[in-house]
Chains A and B, each alone.
Chain A
Amino acid sequence: MPTRIHPVLGAFAALVFLFLLAPLVIIIGASLSDTTYLTFPPQGLSLRWFANIFQIEAFRRTAITSLQVAFLGTGLSLLIGIPAAYALNRYRVELPRWLSTLFVLPILVPEIVFGFSLLKSITIAAGLPVFPSLILGHALLVLPYSVRVVGASLASFDFSIEEAAMSLGCPPLKTFMTVVLPNIQAGVIAAFILAFITSINDVSVSVFLTGPGISTLPIQILAHMEQFFDPTIASVSVLLMLVTVGVMAIVEATLGLTFLTK
């Protein structure tokens, strides 16, 4: 017998989807409009505003910066996050409880406050140039994802296989690379994707760390919108969404999306 969905529950779910999807539909519609101002429903159909994105040098430049920052920042966060998650799980009994909380602090602190404190510390106090401080800031921003998601796959990891490997003559570091990593691969990829998407869409941390000549795409979108109110904003937003969806599609095709929710 197929399971029946209660009509009220069904209606509620439909409402939620409508609520979630309506803005997307509006943005996609607006991005295709042939007008020189933002409007919905679109009047006329055209891809000229998409073409326009590529004419604007600032969008091209900041898109590249965003990708660089997302890759390097996420990479850095995994470089710190994987060993941290490993240690937190491997020595769960021996380590103090608060240590694992420490790594999720960036999630608990309001992003604006976090961004401002990064500005104070890395840009002003440490005097780091804009690009490295963006990478460092994003790495810290997404570190909780690395630690948590990798940690989740380590929580079900049986550490005795590590001991089995060592008893068979495999040194500790090699054991980590050949026995631990392959078994938490899904978690590492999931962490990378979540972190990458968070980084590439981030505004509140980037807004404090971007500086003269160097900006990220979301910040550039804001800057653009302050001057021009044309559909370019909508089309660049759609493009950003497509990147996110694209990444998800790759995950779905290779690993299946369910592992993100596992």
Chain B
Amino acid sequence: MTVSLTIENLSAHYGTTQVLKDLSISVAAGELVSLLGSSGCGKTTTLRIVAGFLQPTAGRVRLGDRDLTTLPAHARDIGLVFQNYALFPHLTVLDNVAFGLKQRTIAKPDRVKRAMAMLERVGLAPLADRLPSALSGGQKQRVALARALVIEPPLLMFDEPLSNLDAKLRIDMRVEIRQLQRANGTTSLYVTHDQEEAFSISDRVAIMNAGRILQLDTPEMLYRKPANAFVARFVGFENLIRMKVTGRDGAVVTAEAIGGTKLHLSQDVFGAIKDDFVLASRADGLTVRRDGEGIPATLGTRTYLGRAYQYKCQTAAGEITANGALSDPLEAGTRAMLTPVPEQCCILDPED
């Protein structure tokens, strides 16, 4: 049975400081949603509230048709995987995995059978009798995973489960986690500060900052159509240029920025453009040309990327990174125009 998770208007405080601000997320049945944000933005706090270790100051948590908000942690039936594994040091691998089944008063033979079957699935059956202290980091996290999965919870939550592992293992483990999650169809909430990890493992990603969700979307949409300047910067839109509309002619908008920039942008491509907006792009969203329409710039350092040259450019709107054709390398100091590639750019509201 798969169910959806609904987090509604959550607020949380530590003392007088508010760490979650009216936070809402819904995770569809069987879906894996990641919370992605820098350290201290409130990811763990969100998870701890859903798990029942922390009481929110406002808001509700629902799992399917059950309201969890006031339920004690042990009655919530949620599988948790911690960053530091949190294995029981005094119990063997097998007993660690069987712990949750024991709480459900499942008879010992059945308990052992199910725990062993789960250890088999994570490839640790031969280590069943070891104590956690005799395991490597990757093995520990597999035990933690098996321990959370074996109780067949309607919801799985992961708090930066891979951040203590080395790079190679991180990639193996995230594939493994994704496969197990898919196979069981368990609704999951996954916390990480690693963008690549979040994008590769999730159906949808919630980008968090300072206790708020800034955008909850598929990795593709986040990557191509960030909803605001913060998310844009987060996914690598390094050039943000503030512009003002000076003329409208049908779908085409004439917009200007300081320093003589004048662009014609089609609302058929960008959607409705407000009078005051930000044009956001990565380096490959602006093409360096000798002339034509665009942002006037003085070229600085040139870097060879293989598929293009990348230039650091000085403009009236500040330093901008743009790519230029391999066929026409330009020297530092050259005056040039930076022309937006519409499909690679997006239009955002100004931050303030």
Contacts and interface: CB of A to CB of B under 8 A. Distances in A.
A166 B99 CA distance: 10
Contacts of A183: 88-90
A169 B104 contact: yes
B88 A170 contact: no
- A160, A163, A164, A168: most-surrounded residue (chain B CB, <10 A): A168
A164 B77 contact: no
B78 interface: yes
Contact of B73 (A158, A160, A161, A167): A167
A164 B104 contact: no
A174 B206 CA distance: 36
A158 B100 contact: no
A262 B54 CA distance: 34
Interface string B93-111: 0000001100110000000
Given A166-B74, A168-B151, A169-B151, A161 B88 contact: yes
Given A158-B84, A160-B84, A172-B74, A167 B51 contact: yes
A79 B283 CA distance: 66
Contacts of B282: none
B interface residue count range (under 10 / 10 to 19 / 20 to 34 / 35 or more): 20 to 34
Contact of B86 (A160, A169, A170, A175): A160
Contacts, number: 63
Interface string B130-148: 0000000000000010011
B87 interface: yes
B234 interface: no
Interface string A13-57: 000000000000000000000000000000000000000000000
A182 interface: yes
Contacts of B103: 168-170
B10 to A, nearest CB: 19
Given A163-B51, A163-B73, A163-B80, A168 B147 contact: yes
A72 interface: no
B90 A164 contact: no
A174 to B, nearest CB: 8
A175 B88 CA distance: 11
**Nearest 4 Cβ contacts at the A-B interface:** A168-B100, A169-B103, A167-B80, A164-B86
28 contacts: A158-B86, A160-B84, A160-B86, A163-B51, A163-B82, A164-B82, A164-B86, A164-B144, A165-B88, A165-B99, A166-B52, A166-B72, A166-B73, A167-B78, A167-B79, A167-B80, A167-B148, A168-B74, A168-B100, A169-B77, A169-B104, A169-B151, A170-B99, A172-B74, A179-B88, A183-B88, A183-B89, A183-B90
Interface of A: 158, 160-161, 163-172, 175, 179, 182-183
Given A160-B84, A165-B99, 10 more contacts: A160-B82, A161-B88, A161-B89, A163-B73, A163-B82, A164-B88, A168-B147, A169-B74, A169-B151, A183-B90
